[in-house]
Structure 1
Amino acid sequence: MTGSGTELSPYIIYNVNDLQAMENDLMAYYELANIGVKVKCVQ
């Protein structure tokens, strides 16, 4: 994940692993890139 997590340089979320890593720093700033994730709903 690139960026420094600040308002001026947010972390860029490129993939699912980056998305999951957000839980490690909830106070940081993030920007979502086009990660191309497909979601399957299971009932």
Structure 2
Amino acid sequence: MTELEFDLTIFEELLEQATEQKAAEFFEAKIKLLASDTEE
């Protein structure tokens, strides 16, 4: 594995983690929004 391939592998992993983090934040916000709607 070359250094470039190694860097790309790390980059892809970080990208996946970032995407999962954003998805989690999105769903948390969505759930809070739905929860506040039902409280009213």
Bigger radius of gyration, 1 or 2?
Answer: 2
Structures share a fold, TM > 0.5?
no
TM-score if structure 2 supplies the norm length? 0.23
Pick the structure with more helix per residue.
Answer: 2
More strand by share: 1
Question: Which has the bigger relative contact order, CA under 8 A and spacing at least 6?
Answer: 1
TM-score computed with the length of structure 1 as normaliser: 0.22
